[in-house]
Every structure is written in C-alpha cells, then in structure tokens.
Structure 1
C-alpha cells in the first residue's frame, strides 16, 4: 500500500484493488478504506479443530478440508435439473459434495486441489455427502494465516473470493489499527465493561474464542446505537434550548365542550394520553410526542382535543396527512365536529385551482382559519401561518423521519404531535424517534370486534364470490383492494382496473365503484361519498383507502395479491372493516412464491394485535422500510440488530442522554463529536456549532 493512503481514501487506491474490484466492493457497501474495517463477517469457520469426514454428524453443519478426487456433471432423469458431484477425501475417508444447477463448478474444482467445504452433512445411498456447500479453494495445503484459527467468511459477490477479501481486510487492519483513536470516553468503557475499539475491530474479524467475538460484537453494536442516540439527544437538547413554544391552555372551554359531548366514555388509555399531552403543551418547551395507536384505538379523538387546546389559546392548529384521500376524510370529520363549535376549518391539498388555493392561503395567513388540514401542500414555500401553535402529523412513517421539521418551521416553534396507526416496536421507536416522547393507545373502545382473517387461493374465487354476494344481499358493503392501477407485463398481478371490470360483470346486479390515486379530486370525493352513503355495494380500490376511511357498514375486505403488501399495510387495510356492530372478514387472496410471502399471510391470519404484527414486520422487512428512514440511512446498522440488541439500545440511550445533559455540545469530547458529525451529522441535521 502507498504511504499516502488514508482511512478516508477511496478503496480503489489499495494495492491490488483498482477500479474493477472497487466496483465489486461497492456492491458490499465498501467504498472507502475504512469500510473494509467494518465489513462484518456473516459467519466464521472454526479451523482450530477441523472435523475429519468420518467424525461428521448427519444432519449437522461442518467445515471440512479435503482434496478433490474428481468432478462430474450430469442431467437428472426428471425435470430440468443438472447435478454436479465432486468426490472428495481427507486422506482417510471419502464423501461427495453435490450442487444443483450451478454453472462452472467443474471448472473451479480441479482434481488434486485442496478445498474448505462448509455445509449440511447428510447420508444418502450409503454415501456421506454435503449438499450445496459453500467452498473455498486453498492455495497450497495450508494457509498459515488461516490454519488453526477461527476464520471470517465475509459477504461476497461474484468476482471476489474469500481468500482475496481476507487478505485485503488483514492488510488494512495491520496498517491502520495501531493509529485508530477510540472516540468513546474511557469512563464509559469502564462503566459498561466495553472492549477498546482496536481490540473489538481485531476481534470481530479474527476472534480468539466465542466469548471474544461476543465482546467484540457488543462493543461495535453499542457504538452504532450510542452514536444514533447521541445525535438524537443532541438535536432534542438544542431544539429545547433554542426554541420557546407557546404555553397552551389545556382543558379550555372548547376542549371541555368537545369531550363532554362525546357519545361514549373515554378509555383509560385515552385519558392517560391526553394527560401526557396536556402536561407537555402547558410548558414553553416544544412538545415532540409520538402517539402510537392500533387501528380503531381513537387517535383522531386525541388529535382533535389537542388542536382545540391551540384554538382555546388563540393559536392555529394544523394536521398533515400523507394522502389526499386521508386529508379529505380528516377534514370532513373535523369540520363536522368543530364547525358546530364555530371553529373555522380549511382544507389545503394540491387538487385545488389556483384561485381556490390563493383564497385558502390568504385565510391561513390572516388568521381567519383556525384549523388547517392538508397534505404535503402544507409545507410549500407559499404557505404562511398567522399564529401556528400546534401541529399534528398523521402516519408519520409515511413522511420519513425528518420531514416534520419543514412544517414546524412555519410557526412560532409549535408543539408537535406525530401519530401512527402502524404500531412500532419499542426498540425501533426509541432508536428512530429517540428525540420524541412516546405515548401509546393500547386499549380499544368497548365493542370493537376481531376481524376473521383467511388466506384464499385463486381456485377458491367462486366461493369467495358467493360469500360477497351473501354479504351484499344482507345489506353489508365490501372493499376489494388491488396492488396496482394498470396491468404490467413485468408483474404478474391483477390490476384495479382489470378487477373492477371483472366484478362489474360478475355482480351485474350490484353497485360497484372504483377508487385509485389517479382519479381527479372531485371524482374521489364522489366515489367516497357514494360508498359512505350506501350507494355502492363494492368499492374496488388501490391502497389509497389504507387509512382514514371509516364506514361501519363495511364488513368484508378482500386484498388481492396480498403477499405483495407489507404486514403492517395489510393490518391497516384490514382495519377498514370491523368498525361497526356486524361480524367482519378479511380475505387475503394470493399465491405467494417466497417463504417470506407465505409467512406474511400466515402471521396476519393468526394475529390481531398491531404491536405483534409490527414485531414480525420488523423481523421480515427491517427498520428502514417501516419507518421511512431508508433514504436517510440512519437505521442501516452494520452490526446492531434492533430486535436482538434491545437491552443494549436502552443502555446506549441512557448513556447518550446523560452525556448530552452534562455536555450538550460535546466540547470535552472532540473526537466523539467529530465521529458523530461524520457519521450522522447530515442525516440528523446536526449543525457543527451552536
């Protein structure tokens, strides 16, 4: 390596890499030299005690070193299947390594070469065999760096072999490890019994034992979680220091009137959450609170009561929703409730003509409008509020983590309540929304019924049609949701337009409506009002009806190609039914071709709890997609696992909050501050000073 090489240098400048291999490394997320240090092995081979072939256990996994005797490829008698078989020996016993439909194996495994094989051991037809093993061709009989050690196996891509990857990682470790500075305070290492960074980096690549690996992994996972919590704590502390929010009157006359006239009693969960919000908004510190509540738990009630606190105090309130359909439904519901109390409400979306939009903007800017409800249109540059005191953001995850800042910047540092009907596991909530307080509506109003959920195949379509007709004849209404608007040659899915025409023909005597995102605003309103008013029996739609639609008479939800939706989205769609007094049903129609798709449908059929579904969704999809953070990269951990490392996350959050409370700008820890800004400064909008 050249002496000019630095940890921040592009990886292509490492000797032996170059542009071609750098492009391959980029597929693994390795773009700079220091990325190689954090290329975490996906597993390890224990070559300290290699298993002789005769000692391997059928049904278990083993790593064996063996010499290739011969290789043959042949086609199976049935099916389009090619089988490659390598006869191997360790000098005492023989075995077979077998691959199915793998090209080029026989070109790599030459007779006489030494190979490390890793895979599941089986006994078939009297032969010991390893099916579809991973393998690594060894140069010579032994590699002195790897024999007798625990050897890392890295994520790889075609064109990069393990021997080459190990060599490059080892070279970077040898050159740079001695000069790496540990950013964590020594007191914190001692408090949490964490390994020094150099030892952890060495141990994650070449652990001396399982305990050494575990301690190394813990240190690196803690670093990722601690940095994120530190950044969130710093951002929260600065916001509270630099901004003073208006003190709002809680339990004023308008709010009291609204709550007193409700046709039902509040649940204990609703009373608790209202108390938490009230305690926040009465202070001059801006509230930043996340409200989690399963479908039907009463979040809209909480939102209205909170906005009334602002109006009671002489301020405006705003509610931002992710879709025009949801914004319009919120507007209809809120205006109906608040209009009777003399409160002036306005809707602002992109669907208005320029004169209509300008009239609304004028009312918002002059203070004639008390409550504004809208979509992303609320955060356009030409939107000016007269006196914005409280902001409610519905379905926060649909906007991403940071977008709420644009709306809150339009007021006098208003209080912020973000809501989601997609329950978020606690570990994810405090990781991604660590700068928000969390309230949970974990109790349903009396009378809410479970929805019977079934997975149906296409061969059962006729029975499903019969069921739908029975429900419609009983006066009930049906949703039928499809994943796409139009047919696509690249996707084997049923479009909403195709299903609409099919159902109109199948149910010629019923009233069938169509809803999707490309309809004009007026047409959407008309379709929605027809369905709410009972003028339609079946509404065929895309997922635009995922949230906000409330029709108690709707009892059946059919989700076409259900395996193409995320678990939480399926749960949201299911939540459109079961809102009245009648028994309700959700049918998941589809033929999933992957284990993940099958598992999604099975989980939904077996689970009613949104929080349990959120845990499964986190496990299946990962945090970035659930919370809209993938574009920011702040949950793309290399080591940490939000499910596995829940206790470590709690520890990191506690330590970060304590450190920031003592040293808000990390003045005493310049290397830690530099590391934080380099890693997350842009993603978390952290300024260098202030």
Structure 2
C-alpha cells in the first residue's frame, strides 16, 4: 500500500463515508495517518468467554468465525455478525449499522475484541465491539502461536493498553477510523514516508522518528508512548509554521527599501510640541523603529501594547520622521506613509488623531474609505479637513502630494498607487500576511532610485559595446559614482568575503573550490544567496535559453567566480551579454587567479522589466509596522507572528486611574443599574455589549448578534432606562448610519450605546466611562480586557460591569481574574493556562491545528522550533539540502493560512 494511494481504492466507501472524508480533508492513506485521536481510554481487563456476564464491558481475546451481513432482527437495519471463540467457549458478536465490517475483518485470525455484553432471548452477545488484530493469542489459548512477551501480565493477557478515539463526521465513526488506520499501519505504508524533520533535530530534542510516532499515536502501548508521539507532532506543526514564517520574512526582506537616517533633533522637536512626555517604553519602541529605517532591508516589526499604552503616538512620531527625512541617495525625494485600520470607524478615528498631531505643520493627510474620501488641510480651513473625490485623492497620492494616507484594506487595492511609499502601519489586523504584503509592495515605487544626486550624470551604457566596467581598486570618477550608488553596502560585504577566502586558500585552486569557500563565507556573514537559480536568456523579447550564474546574491547581484591569470575582454563581454538581457542591474566578477583577488563590477543602466516577476525589477518594499492591542501570550506571538520582530509597550501613560471591575451575579443586576444611572446623571456615557453568539456560518452569526442587540436595546428603553437616549450599533448597519450614531455618541447626544463586540477594536470616546458586558462567560479574558479598554480613554474614574449567568466555578474563577489584574498579557497567559489554547481568540481562523495548540503551552518547545527553523533558512534558504522539508512545505501551503 502506498501512502499516496486514494482511500476509495483501499476501502469500500459508502456515499456518506466519501462525503465525510472529503469534509475532513482526508483523501489518501497519508492523510488518514495524520488524522490523530483526540483522546485515549484504558481498555478493560481481559476475561475468558466462559466468564462473561450480561452488562460487562469486556475485553476478550479469540478468533473470529462465520462473518456475514444481514438485517437486524428488530428494526431491519443492516448489520454485520459473527462468532468470537477462545479455548473456553464462543459468543456472538454484532455490529449494528456497520455491515462493512464483515468485509473489513478477516476470519480465522487472532483478534482482541472489546464491547458491552448484552442478552436477547437468553443468548449473550457483544454489541458493537471494537476489534483489533493481534499477532497471536495469549498463553493458554488453543488458537495461534503460544508465546508470552514482556507486555503480558502473569495471567498471560497483554497489559492494559490505550484505546484511541477520533474526531468524527456525519457518516463516519471513530470505530471506522480505528480499523482503517490499523489496516494502513499493518501494511507498512508509514515506512515509505520520509521524515521531514532532520534527524539531528529529532535526536537533539529526543523526539521519536516519524514511523515510530505514527504507530505510537494511533496504537500506544502506554501513556508515555502517546505523550511522546503528541509532543513530536506538536513540535513538527510549530516547526513548519516557523519555517513558513522565516521564508516569508526572507522573501519580503529580499526587496530593497528606502534607507532613512533620521536626525534625532527632528524627533525631539516633534515630541516637544506635546504637553506630555512619552513613556520609556514608547521611547524604546521609537528607537527600535528608527534603527530599522537605517537598514537596507524593509523593517518587519510587531508593536504590542495594552489598550491605552500609546501605540498610535509611536506610529505618528515615526511617520513624521519618515516623511520629513529624505532617503539616503536622493535628497529631493519626499516619502509617504500608509496607515491601515480594520474598520472605517477606526480609520476615521486615526485620521482625526493624525490631524490633531500634525495640525501645526504643513503635512498633507488623506483618508480613503468606501464611504468617501477626505483630505487635510482644507483650502478654506487650514486647520480642518474637507471632502474630496476619490479620483482626485488617488491622483494626488500617485503624484506624491499626499504624505500620509489612512484607510482600511482598500489601500492595497490596485487602484491605489503611491509615488514613494516608505512606511506602512497596520493597526489591529492579524490577517495581514504574505499576499497582503505583496500587494503593498505593488502599490509602492516600481524602481528604487539609486543615484546619489539627481543632478549628477551617470555613465551611459551603449548596448552595442561593453558598458562602463571598472575594477574595485581603480575606478575612474564616473566609476566611483556608480560604485558608491548601486548596492554599495552589499558589494563591500562581498569584497570582504572574497578577500577572506583568498587569505585562507591562496592561489592555484579550481573554481569550484573557491565557489564552495565563498558560499561558506557568505553563510557566516548572513548574506542571502542562491546557487541554483537560473536566469532566462532573451532574444528579441523571447526566451531562447537560460543561464545559471555561480551565485545570485540577495536576489540583486549576479556573481561569477573565475580562477584565471588574467580577466580579458571576452570574459567581461560574455558576462555583460548575460546581464543586459536580464532583470538585474549589477554583476560582479571575482577572479581568484591573480596575485591579489580582482573584483570587477558591471552595471546595466537599463535592466529589462519583468511583469511576471516584479521583485526582479527592484520594487521598493515599505517598512512594515503591525500594531495590536490584543493581549497575546508569548508562545502565540512567536508562532503566529514568527516573521516579525516583537516590541512591547509595557508601560501606561501616567495620570490614568485604575478601572474598577465588578463581576455581577443575576441577583445584583438592580443595584448595578442604579450605579450606571448615577454615572449618566453625572454627565458620563455608557456602553452595553451584548453576548457573542457562536455560529459556524458567519452570516447566521451576524444575524443572531443583530437580533441580540435589538432585543437588548428595546429592553433597556422600556424596562430599565426609559429616561435616557439609547441607540444601537452593529455590523449590519450601513456606513452612514454607523457614522451618524458614532458621531452623536461622541458629541454626547446618546447616553447609552448598545453594541456587539464591534467596539472591541479602537473606538475612542473619552466621556464614555462605563461598560456593561452581558454574557461575559462567552468571551475570552483577552476580549473582555479589550472591551474594558474602551472606557480607559480619560482621567475620569471608569467602571466595567461583567454580567454572568453561569454558576460554573471554573468560569467564575476565570472572570474573577479579570477583576484582580489590569494587565492584558497576564490575562492572556491565564486564559492559555486554565481555559486552553483552543479558546484563545482567532487561533482556528489562523489555521493552527489542535495538536499545534498544545505546543503553545510550552514556551521552550516554541522557542526551540523557532531557533531550528531560523538556522535552517539562514544556511539553506532554498532548502536544497532539505528536499523533504521543501516537499512538505509545498503540500502544506494550502492548509495553513497564518495571515
């Protein structure tokens, strides 16, 4: 049996079973081996057939005879039946509604059967037993080979084993999975699977190999086997997630970015305009971001901060630094910043916040949403914004006239083009992944400007002759300009590596020796390179062949290694011919045959633009900052955001009062409503959040949420607060309706706003100081903490009333933790520990499996998987030396969607 053999070729499947397997994504024997049990139960002690009694849940060893299918004796449902026999007697075995077992089981072979002993008309039978084939019967039986192994007890029976139970679907049972997987394991199909985890890693962390782990997880002899197997597969899942993340990071960083060297005085002057001083955590975050700006590769950073910790201020300050500082190499360029929010409400809030921050400066800010566009400043009101048509605003953004553009994900649509997008901030958005980053790069500049000064003329290239070619040590004036402009830093690193190789090896070796040594040196210096990539050779716009250079360095430079006593025009011309027909701009020829290593740069001023491969036409990737107020446990952050550098805002601005959180039982509701009434009479406003309704269908879930909001609004208006103005906010309202309600709430015209958890993200109304959360047991602690954060926007005392109808002690204990701590990250860790990884918000939508979630409770495992993935990608970025890893990743890309 082959691991890739279709299940329908191995088993006779009913239409219901085919549908169930398709729903579970199980098509091949390989898929079935990776369908793991979710729990195990100890098997009952084995007994002889002669000792069986009605009502026993018995385990019996014997031989199956006379298997057949027929209709049940009382309901005419299909069933399989046969006889189980040992040396003391025999008993009938019946499987109701499972006639296929008569064909799956073999007669005359030793088996172990477990099930409940039932009686009908004075005859005992075992109903729906689980049956497993065994190598032989225990000592004392007359059938099969008599032997005693170390797994048998003193009575001759095998020691108790664990019975697996599998996730089911309509039409297919755990029992079917048990038999089907046992058949595959008996065939030895698992022996044909190549272990994707390198052997040195499994040995280092004492993990079982793939073949052993598959047997142990489906047929463990004891609990230790099951635990070891689950540990191995948990590590495997997290390891592959980390590999995907490291590859994604490497691909994004392969794009050039604007190098921005910010003057500290510029940032200080911006900060001094505000009546408050940034926290130490904010200063550290800004310093880390500005340091990333200086690098020649795009920043990829996650800024985590509790509600109210000042993430937006960090984004505003660094955005100002970006737009006020010309990039290295082009002192006349004006850079642009994009800020993306998950909702229009939050986008408009950011727009208003940025206007407040930049109102004293001549900074152009645009807002793009599906509900309309605005720009700041207005011609008629320099301190305010004005409406503008979408076409006009998009034209200004493309021309570079708008410095900061704020919106939802509409900013990465094809209709939006930037002139010099240097910095992108993504707020509260977990699904901003590889595809979105690619779209972001596509929205920016198409070619990075590498000239030191736009007024200086660079050497022109005549494609009929050899271009300006210059040795590194003796370039002319024109050559110096080129040398100092095009990938200067990377060239210096390559030079250093080449000199080190010659110092170590000297002259006289073959080119392959120098190539291998140079590859080792590149790895030491953490230079990205490929030795396998081929470059198309084109003639009259058509591909006529392909050329494979010795190295492609950082996807920017073609590099050839020679060991010749003299580098002549023929070698240079040949290399130039390859370069001029490619998308690359720079080639370097390194000759180790001369007494002192010779390094020759060949520059192509007019590289061929490839629409199919935008990266090779040198698009500029913006520096990327993701911000989140969602408290994320460290293990989850390292997994889901494994491709981002983490920065934590762990301080709150001074002067804010601690929120008072109360857990409210049903009998205490009346008193709480009076406290809420008192707050409203004191001029404050209130949020009421309706319980989240879990429903697999998003449309049905939203409909139920809306119904919940409407019902609660009517109840509060009629029964509790008839004297106050109460309005509602939910996801099915039109944009202009939502805007109107939020506008009136901000102006204080609405006393109580009844909403779904749509207010969880970012809504800022400082006068709202009280929040009432209905059905709190349906929310995770992190969500409750974020909701509570909506009333932490001012210096007034704030209150959070958590309504619960649950008498469950665990639920009550969890909610009390909310009242004891105001630290969101502590609450997230608490949720992970006591409620389980599966209950953390968003894990399943991120594509993380149940078994990988177990790893999230083991920080050492996650850190180890991350470290191993980083090391592999650094040393072998294209996984040439790890074909099993490469194959597994290719097959897995469609199932994991961490974006």
- What residue number does 1:39 align with? 35
Matched, 1:335 2:340: no
- What residue number does 1:658 align with? 871
Cα drift, residue 418 of structure 1 = 0.2
Q: Indicate if the aligned counterparts of 2:58 and 2:114 stay in contact, CA closer than 8 A.
A: no
Matched, 1:345 2:340: no
TM-score, length-scaled by structure 1: 0.80
Alpha carbons of structure 1 residues 248 and 627: separation in structure 2 relative to 1, 3 Å: farther
Secondary structure of the residue aligned to 1:416 is strand
Q: Following superposition of structure 1 onto structure 2, how do residues 431-580 of structure 1 map, counting pairs within 5 Å?
A: 431-457=639-665, 460-482=668-690, 495-505=708-718, 506-580=720-794
Q: Indicate if the aligned counterparts of 1:7 and 1:34 stay in contact, CA closer than 8 A.
A: yes
Aligned counterpart for 2:202 among listed residues 176, 185, 189 = 189
Matched, 1:604 2:615: no
| Aligned length in residues | 623
Cα drift, residue 327 of structure 1 = 0.7
- What residue number does 2:406 align with? 373
- The superposition leaves residues 50-107 of structure 1 with CA deviations (integer Å, 9 ceiling, x where unpaired) of 399xxxxxxxxxxx9997744xxxxxxxxxxxxxxx466899xxxxxxxxxxxx9xx9
Secondary structure of the residue aligned to 1:385 is coil
After superposing the two structures, state which structure 1 stretch, 439-448 or 155-164, moved more: 155-164
After superposing the two structures, state which structure 1 stretch, 293-302 or 493-502, moved more: 493-502
Q: Distance in 2 between matches of 1:161 and 1:628?
A: 28
Secondary structure of the residue aligned to 1:286 is coil
Cα drift, residue 192 of structure 1 = 3.3
After superposing the two structures, state which structure 1 stretch, 368-377 or 644-653, moved more: 644-653
- The superposition leaves residues 205-228 of structure 1 with CA deviations (integer Å, 9 ceiling, x where unpaired) of 233444444433333222222222
Alpha carbons of structure 1 residues 521 and 38: separation in structure 2 relative to 1, 3 Å: closer
Secondary structure of the residue aligned to 1:403 is helix
Alpha carbons of structure 1 residues 306 and 409: separation in structure 2 relative to 1, 3 Å: farther
Secondary structure of the residue aligned to 1:291 is strand
Q: Distance in 2 between matches of 1:405 and 1:622?
A: 34
- What residue number does 1:585 align with? 799
Q: Indicate if the aligned counterparts of 1:232 and 1:684 stay in contact, CA closer than 8 A.
A: no
Cα drift, residue 335 of structure 1 = 1.1
Aligned counterpart for 1:304 among listed residues 306, 316, 319 = 316
Q: Following superposition of structure 1 onto structure 2, how do residues 61-210 of structure 1 map, counting pairs within 5 Å?
A: 69-70=53-54, 86=55, 116=114, 137=129, 148=158, 150-157=161-168, 160=172, 164-175=176-187, 176-210=189-223
- What residue number does 2:18 align with? 22
After superposing the two structures, state which structure 1 stretch, 303-312 or 209-218, moved more: 209-218
After superposing the two structures, state which structure 1 stretch, 578-587 or 371-380, moved more: 578-587
- Structure 1 gaps of 5+ residues are 53-63, 71-85, 92-103, 119-134
Q: Following superposition of structure 1 onto structure 2, how do residues 265-280 of structure 1 map, counting pairs within 5 Å?
A: 265-280=277-292
- What residue number does 1:75 align with? none
Q: Distance in 1 between matches of 2:735 and 2:175?
A: 60
Secondary structure of the residue aligned to 1:347 is strand
Cα drift, residue 392 of structure 1 = 0.4
Q: Distance in 2 between matches of 1:357 and 1:684?
A: 32
Matched, 1:421 2:629: yes
Aligned counterpart for 1:643 among listed residues 832, 856, 861 = 856
Cα drift, residue 436 of structure 1 = 0.7
Compare CA radii of gyration and give the structure with the larger one: 2
Cα drift, residue 264 of structure 1 = 1.8
Q: Distance in 2 between matches of 1:415 and 1:527?
A: 36
Q: Indicate if the aligned counterparts of 1:243 and 1:286 stay in contact, CA closer than 8 A.
A: yes
Alpha carbons of structure 1 residues 625 and 206: separation in structure 2 relative to 1, 3 Å: closer
Cα drift, residue 513 of structure 1 = 4.1
Cα drift, residue 28 of structure 1 = 5.2
Secondary structure of the residue aligned to 2:773 is strand
Q: Following superposition of structure 1 onto structure 2, how do residues 47-58 of structure 1 map, counting pairs within 5 Å?
A: 50=45
Q: Distance in 2 between matches of 1:478 and 1:308?
A: 35
- What residue number does 1:360 align with? 393
Cα drift, residue 468 of structure 1 = 1.7
Cα drift, residue 539 of structure 1 = 2.6
Alpha carbons of structure 1 residues 370 and 17: separation in structure 2 relative to 1, 3 Å: same
Q: Indicate if the aligned counterparts of 1:624 and 1:636 stay in contact, CA closer than 8 A.
A: no
Secondary structure of the residue aligned to 1:397 is coil
Q: Distance in 2 between matches of 1:676 and 1:12?
A: 26
RMSD: 3.9
Q: Distance in 2 between matches of 1:290 and 1:184?
A: 29
Cα drift, residue 402 of structure 1 = 5.3
Alpha carbons of structure 1 residues 618 and 251: separation in structure 2 relative to 1, 3 Å: farther
Q: Indicate if the aligned counterparts of 1:346 and 1:372 stay in contact, CA closer than 8 A.
A: yes
TM-score, length-scaled by structure 2: 0.62
- What residue number does 1:259 align with? 271
Cα drift, residue 386 of structure 1 = 1.6
After superposing the two structures, state which structure 1 stretch, 143-152 or 530-539, moved more: 143-152
Q: Indicate if the aligned counterparts of 2:239 and 2:866 stay in contact, CA closer than 8 A.
A: yes
Alpha carbons of structure 1 residues 170 and 515: separation in structure 2 relative to 1, 3 Å: closer
Matched, 1:325 2:345: yes
Aligned counterpart for 1:287 among listed residues 274, 299, 302 = 299
Secondary structure of the residue aligned to 1:641 is helix
Q: Distance in 2 between matches of 1:415 and 1:627?
A: 28
Cα drift, residue 34 of structure 1 = 0.9
- Structure 2 gaps of 5+ residues are 61-74, 82-89, 94-112, 117-126, 139-156, 326-333, 374-386, 445-619, 694-698
Matched, 1:615 2:832: no
Q: Indicate if the aligned counterparts of 2:230 and 2:851 stay in contact, CA closer than 8 A.
A: no
Q: Indicate if the aligned counterparts of 1:322 and 1:399 stay in contact, CA closer than 8 A.
A: no
Q: Distance in 1 between matches of 2:728 and 2:176?
A: 57
Q: Distance in 2 between matches of 1:237 and 1:138?
A: 50
Q: Distance in 1 between matches of 2:131 and 2:808?
A: 38
Matched, 1:227 2:217: no
Cα drift, residue 439 of structure 1 = 0.6
Cα drift, residue 547 of structure 1 = 2.5
Q: Distance in 2 between matches of 1:452 and 1:270?
A: 26
Matched, 1:215 2:228: yes
Q: Distance in 2 between matches of 1:589 and 1:546?
A: 17
Matched, 1:675 2:688: no
Alpha carbons of structure 1 residues 12 and 445: separation in structure 2 relative to 1, 3 Å: same
Cα drift, residue 399 of structure 1 = 5.1
Q: Distance in 1 between matches of 2:232 and 2:632?
A: 26
Alpha carbons of structure 1 residues 65 and 196: separation in structure 2 relative to 1, 3 Å: farther
Secondary structure of the residue aligned to 1:409 is helix
Matched, 1:382 2:596: no
- The superposition leaves residues 327-361 of structure 1 with CA deviations (integer Å, 9 ceiling, x where unpaired) of 11111111121122211111110002897222221
- The superposition leaves residues 661-681 of structure 1 with CA deviations (integer Å, 9 ceiling, x where unpaired) of 111101112222111211236
Q: Distance in 2 between matches of 1:478 and 1:641?
A: 39
Secondary structure of the residue aligned to 1:290 is strand
- The superposition leaves residues 437-487 of structure 1 with CA deviations (integer Å, 9 ceiling, x where unpaired) of 111111112233332222335554433332222111222221222358999
Q: Distance in 1 between matches of 2:777 and 2:202?
A: 45
Q: Indicate if the aligned counterparts of 1:512 and 1:536 stay in contact, CA closer than 8 A.
A: yes
Alpha carbons of structure 1 residues 611 and 117: separation in structure 2 relative to 1, 3 Å: farther
Q: Indicate if the aligned counterparts of 1:421 and 1:572 stay in contact, CA closer than 8 A.
A: yes
Q: Indicate if the aligned counterparts of 1:249 and 1:312 stay in contact, CA closer than 8 A.
A: no
Alpha carbons of structure 1 residues 180 and 521: separation in structure 2 relative to 1, 3 Å: closer
After superposing the two structures, state which structure 1 stretch, 551-560 or 654-663, moved more: 551-560
Alpha carbons of structure 1 residues 306 and 408: separation in structure 2 relative to 1, 3 Å: farther
